[in-house]
């Protein structure tokens, strides 16, 4: 009996989820396109190595610079490595890197934002002036300078980009906390003598979640793009890493004879970023009814 109930509960949950997702997908076919690309990329990042026809590091000097064919869908590089397998391996790197950069910035930025918004006064002033200082730099230039200072590697790029991203989250979350802390449910919690920690974790964190998800989904694309740009400039992942930016940088010297080496990794990168940006943009519109395509959607909500 019990075994029977579990799948039924799971199916119910799935049905509820799909009911929640349907209006979002119906809003615009672009939302659907974004969602499909993102799901596909996530699947490739997880199962890519199983699908890869070859080991991405496998050198084959008898098949160097082969154009795309049945054996090598995306062709081969100057050492005969299969570019399709490398692009698949690169998908995992890009997703991993984006997850780490955003986890670091979200955790650090949100904690500081909640602290700043709840504490007020001098603490708020100090935290906000520091974030302003970081936001005063064009982000990419600051990240490039930090990555160069620490020495070119993927880990340092991740750290540099996390340094650039966190202040945006602090500012966003502080603004949310300032508007939430005067709301009835927080005041009620205060009257009930709930501690600041309790209010922060039980009441505030949950309520800023929606806006946080939208911001993260918008930033994933940018994090992936910035990582690849730094790698392309030689400040991030170094060859022979199959990171997409590093792949394009290696292919650049062969672009006249072996265009596929530059084109396919770039296409994968562009599509991935497009997918996340479409999804993030759609989610933002969905959360903010003022921006929605039709008034009807706004009223329904």
Q: Is the peptide bond before 240 cis (omega within 30 degrees of 0)?
A: yes
CB of 131 to another protein, least distance (A): 11
Q: Which of 88, 114, 144, 258 binds another protein (CB under 8 A)?
A: 144
- Give the residue with the Cβ less far from another protein, 294 or 300: 294
Q: Which of 141, 187, 188, 210 binds another protein (CB under 8 A)?
A: 141
Q: What string of DSSP letters covers 212-273?
A: HHHHHHHHHHHHHHHHHHHHHTTSSS-TT---HHHHHHHHHTTTTT-THHHHHHHHHHHHHH
Instruction: Based on the shown chain and the rule CB under 8 A, indicate whether residue 151 belongs to the binding site for another protein.
Output: yes
Instruction: Based on the shown chain and the rule CB under 8 A, indicate whether residue 12 belongs to the binding site for another protein.
Output: no
- Of 55-63, 111-119, 169-177, 233-241, the window that binds another protein (rule: CB under 8 A) is 233-241
Instruction: Based on the shown chain and the rule CB under 8 A, indicate whether residue 26 belongs to the binding site for another protein.
Output: no
CB of 50 to another protein, least distance (A): 27
Q: Tell me the Cα Rg of the chain.
A: 23
- Of 60-68, 93-101, 148-156, 184-192, the window that binds another protein (rule: CB under 8 A) is 148-156
Instruction: Based on the shown chain and the rule CB under 8 A, indicate whether residue 259 belongs to the binding site for another protein.
Output: yes
Counting DSSP H helices and E strands in the chain, the numbers are 12, 0
Residue 64: is it exposed, middle or buried by C-beta count within 10 angstroms (0-12/13-18/19+)?
middle
- Give the residue with the Cβ less far from another protein, 21 or 270: 270
Binding to another protein by CB under 8 A, coded x per residue (else -) over 209-228, reads: ------------x---xx-x
Q: What string of DSSP letters covers 169-198?
A: HHHHHHHHHHHHTTSHHHHHHHHTT--HHH
Residues 6+ away with beta carbon under 8 Å from 71: 53
Instruction: Based on the shown chain and the rule CB under 8 A, indicate whether residue 133 belongs to the binding site for another protein.
Output: yes
The helix or strand, by DSSP H or E, that contains position 37, with its residue range, turns out to be helix 29-51
CB of 204 to another protein, least distance (A): 26
**Residue 300 CB neighbours (<10 A):** 10
Instruction: Based on the shown chain and the rule CB under 8 A, indicate whether residue 126 belongs to the binding site for another protein.
Output: no
Q: Which of 100, 140, 101, 81 is nearest to 265 (CA)?
A: 81
How far is it, in rounded angstroms, from Cα 136 to Cα 170?
Answer: 14
- Of 6-14, 80-88, 145-153, 199-207, the window that binds another protein (rule: CB under 8 A) is 145-153
Q: Which of 138, 195, 289, 298 binds another protein (CB under 8 A)?
A: 138
CB of 219 to another protein, least distance (A): 12
How far is it, in rounded angstroms, from Cα 77 to Cα 83?
Answer: 7
- Of 62-70, 72-80, 171-179, 255-263, the window that binds another protein (rule: CB under 8 A) is 255-263
CB 296 within 8 A of CB 118: no
Q: Which of 121, 120, 118 is nearest to 194 (CA)?
A: 118
DSSP code of 106?
H
- Give the residue with the Cβ less far from another protein, 59 or 211: 211
- Please give the size of the binding site for another protein, defined by CB under 8 A: 46
Tell me phi and psi for residue 291, to 5 degrees. -90, -5
Residues forming contacts to another protein in the complex (CB under 8 A) are 28-30, 129, 132-133, 136-141, 144-146, 148-149, 151, 221, 225-226, 228-229, 232-235, 245, 248, 252, 255-256, 259, 262-263, 266, 269-270, 273-274, 277-278, 281, 291, 293-294
């Amino acid at each position: 009996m019990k075994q029977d109930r579990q799948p039924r509960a799971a199916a119910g949950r799935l049905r509820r989820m799909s009911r929640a997702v349907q209006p979002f997908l119906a809003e615009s076919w672009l939302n659907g396109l974004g969602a499909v690309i993102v799901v596909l990329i996530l699947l490739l990042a997880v199962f890519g190595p199983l699908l890869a026809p070859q080991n991405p590091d496998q050198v084959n000097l008898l098949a160097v610079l082969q154009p795309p064919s049945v054996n090598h869908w995306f062709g081969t590089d100057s050492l005969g490595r299969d570019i399709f397998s490398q692009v698949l391996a690169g998908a995992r790197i890009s997703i991993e890197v984006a997850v780490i950069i955003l986890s670091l910035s979200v955790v650090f930025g949100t904690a500081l934002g909640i602290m700043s918004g709840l504490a007020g006064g001098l603490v708020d002033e100090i935290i906000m002036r520091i974030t302003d200082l970081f936001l005063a730099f064009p982000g990419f230039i600051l990240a490039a300078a930090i990555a160069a200072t620490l020495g070119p590697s993927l880990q340092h790029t991740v750290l540099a980009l996390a340094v650039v991203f966190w202040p945006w989250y602090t500012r966003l979350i502080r603004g949310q906390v300032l508007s939430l802390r005067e709301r009835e449910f927080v005041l009620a919690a205060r009257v009930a003598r709930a501690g600041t920690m309790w209010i922060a974790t039980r009441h505030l964190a949950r309520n800023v979640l929606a806006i946080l998800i939208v911001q993260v989904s918008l930033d994933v694309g940018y994090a992936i793009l910035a990582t690849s740009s730094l790698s392309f400039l030689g400040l991030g992942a170094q060859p022979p890493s199959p990171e997409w930016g590093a792949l394009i940088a290696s292919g650049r010297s062969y672009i006249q004879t072996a265009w596929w080496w530059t084109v396919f990794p770039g296409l994968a990168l562009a599509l991935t970023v497009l997918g996340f940006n479409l999804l993030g943009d759609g989610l933002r519109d969905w959360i903010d009814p003022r921006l929605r395509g039709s008034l009807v959607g706004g009223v329904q909500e």
